[in-house]
């Protein structure tokens, strides 16, 4: 049995569906099973990572866990319960912002994921870490603007990302959960090409058959506005990561292909797959 946390959110949901499609027994951990909306045949486990007493039943018979965490969540209760339940393997979906070799990270996003990675490595379980930085699904934030026009207004329009399709993340997760040879490995996952936000909007416009354009905004007012309803430290870290990529090609590697046997899906494929979301 394979357990997926964060099973009703992005990445967790796709991993559950990929495991199920491949014929693997999968259990989805969720606080609200009645609202899960997962395929028939997926086992649902009602549990809460913040309530350790709910975890032993969810972990019964589990051989490996895909750990997908909401930012800021403490993994310790699950790691302790997994060790006590005899779970053999854990795969953690981490951030590409983590800098190796230092304990003090450059920002709160990197620090949180670095600390969870360390907890996973010290858990006593066989572990694999998957790092990604800017998933293609981030582009769904454009949808609200496109409902009212054809212009995407955002800071750092010239920032470059090797955006990865969430289905490729799921494919790598399935491979590292179910196959040998990945213990003690840390993999950085990328898409197949480096694209600026401007490039992404152009490609998205082609998929939607709409003449989309962009407007590069001053980051500071946007940061101040968003800080009214989001964690300022988290936003500052996110904006810093984007600023660092302006004018620089994003890293592109062959990790997805090496692990899954297929080339990563392009951003154009992601846009076509999500056209209805816009």
Res 107: pLDDT: 93
Q: Give kind and range of the element (H or E) at residue 241.
A: helix 232-243
What does each C-alpha distance from 195 to 11, 157, 163, 169, 249 come to in angstroms?
A: 22, 10, 8, 18, 8
State the pLDDT at residue 110.
Answer: 94
pTM over 0.95: no
The pLDDT of residue 3 is above 90:
yes
Residue 129 has pLDDT above 90, yes or no: yes
Q: What is the pLDDT of residues 170-196, one digit of tens each?
A: 999 999 999 999 999 999 999 999 999
Q: Give a yes or no: residue 26 inside a domain.
A: yes
pLDDT attached to residue 52:
94
Residue 181 lies in a domain: yes
In sequence order, what E strands does the chain have?
2-4, 26-30, 43-46, 64-67, 89-95, 126-132, 151-155, 160-161, 185-188, 195-196, 213-217
What is the overall mean pLDDT for the chain? 94
Residue 148 located in a structural domain:
no
For a pLDDT cut of 90, what percent of the chain falls above it?
A: 85
CB 103 within 8 A of CB 140: no
Residue 216 lies in a domain: no
The number of domains in the chain is 1
Q: How confident is the model at residue 223 (pLDDT cuts 50, 70, 90)?
A: confident
Asked if residues 64 and 87 have their Cβ atoms less than 8 Å apart, the reply is yes
Please indicate, yes or no, if residue 21 is contained in any of the structural domains: yes
Host domain of residue 28: 2-132+166-189+252-262
The region of weakest confidence among 11-20, 119-128, 179-188, 226-235 is 226-235
Most confident of 178-192, 210-224, 227-241: 178-192
The verdict on residue 197 lying in a domain is no
Q: Are 165 and 265 in contact (CB under 8 A)?
A: yes
What's the pLDDT at 76? 95
Per-residue pLDDT, averaged over 8-34, amounts to: 93
* pLDDT attached to residue 147: 86
63-88: pLDDT as tens digits:
999 999 999 999 999 999 999 999 99
- CATH at residue 184: 3.40.50.720
**DSSP code of residue 217:** E
Any domain includes 79: yes
pLDDT at 34: 82
Residue 196 within any structural domain of the chain: no
Q: What is the pLDDT of residue 1?
A: 95
């Amino acid at each position: 049995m394979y357990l997926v946390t964060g099973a009703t959110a992005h990445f967790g949901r796709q991993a559950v569906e990929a495991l199920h499609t491949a014929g693997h027994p999968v259990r989805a951990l969720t606080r609200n099973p009645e609202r899960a909306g997962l395929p028939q045949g997926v086992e649902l486990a009602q549990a809460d990572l913040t309530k350790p007493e709910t975890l032993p039943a969810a972990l019964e018979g589990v051989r490996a866990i895909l750990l997908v965490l909401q930012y800021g969540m403490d993994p310790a209760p699950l790691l302790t319960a997994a060790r006590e339940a005899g779970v053999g393997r854990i795969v953690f979906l981490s951030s590409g912002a983590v800098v190796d070799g230092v304990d003090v990270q450059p920002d709160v996003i990197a620090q949180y994921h670095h600390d969870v990675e360390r907890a996973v490595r010290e858990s006593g379980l066989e572990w694999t870490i998957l790092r990604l930085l800017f998933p293609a699904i981030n582009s769904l934030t454009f949808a609200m603007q496109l409902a009212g026009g054809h212009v995407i207004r955002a800071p750092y329009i010239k920032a470059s990302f090797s955006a990865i399709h969430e289905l490729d993340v799921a494919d790598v997760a399935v491979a590292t959960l179910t196959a040998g040879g990945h213990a003690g490995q840390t993999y950085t996952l990328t898409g197949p090409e480096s694209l600026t936000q401007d490039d992404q909007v152009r490609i998205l416009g082609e998929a939607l058959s709409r003449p989309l354009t962009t407007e590069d905004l001053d980051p500071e007012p946007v940061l101040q506005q968003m800080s009214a309803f989001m964690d300022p430290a988290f936003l500052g870290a996110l904006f810093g990561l984007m600023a660092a990529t302006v004018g620089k090609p994003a890293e592109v590697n062959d990790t997805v292909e090496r692990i899954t046997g297929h080339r990563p899906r392009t951003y154009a494929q992601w846009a076509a797959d999500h056209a209805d979301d816009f």
